[in-house]
Chain A
Amino acid sequence: MVLSHDHVHQLESESIFLMREVAAQFERPVLLFSGGKDSILMVHLARKAFAPARIPFTLVHIDTGHNFPETLEFRDRLVDETGSTLHVGLVQDSIDSGRVKEEEGPNPSRNGLQTVTLLDTLAELKADVARGGGRRDEEKARAKERFFSHRDRFGQWDPKNQRPELWNLFNGRRNPGEHFRAFPLSNWTEMDVWQYIADEEIPMPSLYFSHQRNVVERDGVLLAESEFNQLMPGESWDERTIRFRTIGDATCTGATESTAATLEDIIAEVAAARQTERGGRSDDKRSEAAMEDRKKQGYF
C-alpha cells in the first residue's frame, strides 16, 4: 500500500502533522468537540495521528444545554468507540454561578455565553492548547487565522499582531498563563470535508442527511422545533424536508431545505450551493465583524 497524494490526502497529511505537533509542543492539550462534522473529522484525524496508541488528550464539549438529542447520542458513542475521555463544560453552570447572565428577550442565544464557559473550562483543566475544527473558508475573520493561534492571559486573540507562520514551522512557545488555539483543519473547505468523509466512510450524525422536521422561518433562518425554540406570536411550525449543513446550538443553527440523503447527494449539493454553510447561522449575522469580535474575546 502507498498513500494517495490527491488533494484531500495532502490535507489529511498536513492535519496529522499538526495534530502531532500540538501533542509534541504542549503539555496539556484538549480537543474542542461540538458534535459537528468538523469535530468528528478532528477525532478521526487524531486517531490516525496517534495509532496504535489512543488519542492522547481529552475531548472537551462546551454544552449550551440547547442540543439536538442526536448530537449527544453520537458524541457518547464516539467517545466509547475511541476510548477517549470527555469533559463537558456546561454553560448552565456558568449561569448558575453568576459568571454570565442569560440574554433577555424572545430569542436568547447562549452562543456568546459559551466563551466564558470555554475559558473557565480550559482554566479548570489547565489546558495550554485547545484544538478547534475551525476552517479558514468558513468566514472572513477565520481566513486570517493561524494554525497555531496565540491567546493572551485573558484568552484574547489579537488579529493585528499575530505571529507569522512560515513553512511548516509552528511556534507554540508561550509564557505562563497564555494559551493557544490550534486549527488543524485550517486549509480544508466544506467540499474537502465531505469528499474526505465519503472517501473514508466516516459515520456522521443523521442530522446532516435529509429528513422531515418541523421548522419555523425566522429572519431568513429555518429554526427546528425543540424545547429551546419557542414560537413567537403569528408563527407556526411547518414540516419540511431539510438537513443541517452545520450543527451547533439548536437555537441558532438553521436548517436548509434539502433532499440530499446520501454523502454523494450532499457532495453534489455542496458543489451547487450558492450560500455559505454559515449562511444559516444567525449568530454570524449580528454584525459585519461579528466573528472577529467574538474571536477576540476568546470564542472558538
Chain B
Amino acid sequence: MRNELTSTDTLGQPFAVELQGIWKRFPGVVANAGADLRVSAGTVHAVLGENGAGKSTLMNILAGVYRPDAGQLRIDGEIHHFRTPADALAAGIGMVHQEFRLIPSFTVADNVVLGAAERIVRRSSIESAVGELAERFGIATEPDRMVWQLSMGERQRVEILKALWRDAQILVLDEPTAVLTPGEADELAAVLRHMANDGRAVIFISHKLQEVTSFCDEATVLRGGKTVAASLSVESTDATELAGLMVGSSPAISERPPPGQVGEELLAVHKLRCMDDRGLPALDGIELTVRSGEIVGIAGVAGNGQRELAQVIAGLRSVESGTVCLTGEDRTFASPRQRFSAGLGYIPEDRLGVGLAPRLNVIDNAILRTYRDHCRGPFLDAESATAHCQDLVDRFRIQTGPLFHSIAGLSGGNLQRLLVGRELRGHPSVVVAAQPTRGLDVQGVKAIQDLLVAERDVGAAVLLISEDLDELLTLSDRLLVMHAGRIVAEFEPTTAERRTIGEAMAGHLDGACVIPEVVGP
C-alpha cells in the first residue's frame, strides 16, 4: 500500500513515522498549523519547542488521542487514521504521558501486562516475563513491587515497559525528564539508546536543550504549531542555534538582578527533621535562615529532601523535631492557614492538585487562601470574591476566559501566574517557592522570576527551591546545597564554580563541617 507521496529516509526505507501538514484547532487556539515530522527507525528523535508550540498536541495525534483536522499520518509508509489510542497502539505506537497511567495498588508486573495478558497466567510467570523484558532493554525494575512504593523515575520505567510489552516499535515520551533526577535521566537516556539500537523509533519531547544534545540523534523544532526546522542532526547543530529556533530570536541572556537591601531574619529553620511519604527520614537536621530582602536558593538533586523542606515550612508535613520560625515567632505547629496569615506565601511544586483545585473555576481558585475574608456571616460574598479575582487577573496579567469557567482551560503559564499572584498579592514576609518556573516557556519563566525578585525588593525573605542551576545562580543571593536531607554547602552565587556545586549536590562534600565560609552582607 505504498503511495507516491511517501518519502524515504537516506537508506531508502520509509520513515517509521511521518506526519505531514498536520492541523489541529481547539476552541480559541490553533495548536498545530501544518506541522511536519519525520522520524527514522533506530533513532532517538527530539521534538523541541516552547510551551504551547504544539508538541503535545502533535504527539497526542500520533498516539490516537486527538484526531487531526487536516494532514496525514504514515507509519512505515502506510497511511493510518487513528480513531482511538488503541488503534495507535495496534500500529505499534506506545506513548508515555507526563501523568502516569498506573494502578498504584497493583504490582509492576500487573501494571505492565494489564489489558495485554492473553489469558489467566501465573503471577510468577508474568513477573519473570516482565523481568526478562526489562533486562533485555537494561531497565532496572522489580516486577513484584507495588507501584505506590515506587519513585517517579521507577514509575516511568513501568510505563516504558508497558509500551515495550505491547511491542511498540515507536515510543513517544512526553517531557520524560521533568519528573526525573539527573541520575535517573541518564539511566533513561541509556534505555532509550538501547531501544533505538533495537531498531525502534524513539520520540522524545522536551524543551531542555542540554538533554536534547546529549540524548538525541535528530531534532525537529516546533514553533507556533508549525515545524520551523525538521530533522536537524543534533551532532552538527549548535545548542544556541536550536534555542534560537525555539524562541524565534536568540534567547535573552538572563542578567543578575541587582542585590536587595538585606534586613532582619524572617525565616529560621532549626534542627529540622521529618519523614517522607514512605516513613523514611527526609530531613536530617536542617539549619537555615532567610533574611528580609534576600533570595536564598536551594540546589540539589531531586529527592534529597527539598520537597519535604518546602512542605514542612508550609505546614503541610508534620515535623519530627526541630523548629520553624516565621517573622521571629515559632510556628512549628501552626496550621497552613495560620502560617498564611502570619505572612507566608507558598508556591508548591504541584500546581494542580495542591496549589490549585483543578475542577473549580478561576474565582474559586483565586480566593483559595482568603475565602474567609470574603464571607458575610456563613455566606460567601460572590461580588467581593469576583472583584478580588478580577484584581488578581488584571494585576498579574493572567489570560483567562470567563472567570466562572473552570481553570482547566488555562495554559500552564497562566495557571502559575494565578497561583503566584494569589500568594504574592498581599506581599508576604516570607515566600517559599518550589520549582516555580518548571515547565514554563521563556516568557513565563521571566514573568515568575521578576515577580519573585520584586517581592524580595520590597523586603520579603524568599526561599527558592529549584532544579535549574542557572535560575538559582541568577536569582539567589546565597545558594545552599541539599544532599540526603541536609544542607551540605553554601555558596556565593557570583563566584561559585559549577563544578564545585555539582560535587556538593552529588554528596562529595558531605559532612556539615565543609560548609564554606558565609560571604556576609
Whether chains A and B associate is no
The chain A residues found within 8 Å of chain B, CB to CB, are none
The chain B residues found within 8 Å of chain A, CB to CB, are none
